Amino acid sequence: MSRSYGEAEDYAPSSASPSPKTETTQTELKVQKRMMVYSVNVNLQSKEIESKVTEIIKLAESYGGYALQYSSNGVVQLKIPAEKLKQFLFTLRNQSQNYSEDVSAKDVTEDYTDTEIRMENAQKMRLRLLEVLKAAKTVEEILKVEAELNKVSEAIERWEGRLKYLASSVQLSSVQVRVLQKWEPVVQKEYQPGPLGYPFYWLYLGLGKVKDGIIWMFVQEIPKEKTEIPD
């Protein structure tokens, strides 16, 4: 069954449920959602690069996205909501010439779950250290506990930042669009003289015929070398 870009799915292990004697880890107890990060590279052509770049940015904004960066050489970096990515690419494809795309996906489910567990463990450690701090009696004990608290708090901030980054990467897909110049062949129109130009036009054609005739006569007058056929 096909799924849209960025769609989460329930992850169920293929094996049967563990027996009571089987030890289950904290990761296995969690109900996981498949978290996919999508990246897309698009190439297309347009007669006017700047106007096409502006059109692409407006299209991205209409789907709730935005431009991170764009340049005059036709490269645009976009962020598109994952649930709107498929629709955005479909519309862009229909509005473009010589369109091609390359879609890649990265599964960050394990990374997100591992980071979440690390943060929860750090939060529990902080609670235990706070209890120890309340029971500390000497200045030395207080300083040691506070030092550990600082380390744990810094770790929690790092895990929280990592979780926010992963969640944002899943929710917003990255799209890079490269607009290339499309060159149209120049069709030369047959010369059509005006009413006053016809005499000069026919004179020009006549002189061309005379020139060709003189060259032909000159070639015919060039003496040809005789070749003797051996006996």
pLDDT, tens digit (0-9, with 9 covering 90-100), for 74-119? 999 999 999 999 999 999 999 999 999 999 999 999 999 999 999 9
Q: Is the pLDDT of residue 53 over 80?
A: yes
Provide CATH code, domain 36-106.
Answer: 3.30.70
- Rounded mean pLDDT, 16-45: 66
User: How many whole angstroms separate alpha carbon 156 and alpha carbon 154?
Assistant: 5
Place of tokens 């006053």: 196
> How confident is the model at residue 26, as a pLDDT?
47
| pLDDT computed for residue 23 by the predictor | 42
The number of C-alpha atoms within 13 Å of 125 and in the hemisphere containing its C-beta is 17
Burial class (CB in 10 A: 0-12, 13-18, 19+), 118: middle
Q: How far is CA 108 from the centre of its chain?
A: 18
DSSP state of 179: E
pLDDT tens-place string over residues 124-169: 999 999 999 999 889 999 999 999 999 999 999 999 999 999 999 9
Residues with Cβ within 8 Å of 196's Cβ and at least 6 positions away in sequence, in order, are none
Quickly list H helices, 63-138: 85-94, 109-135
Per-chain mean pLDDT for the chain: 79
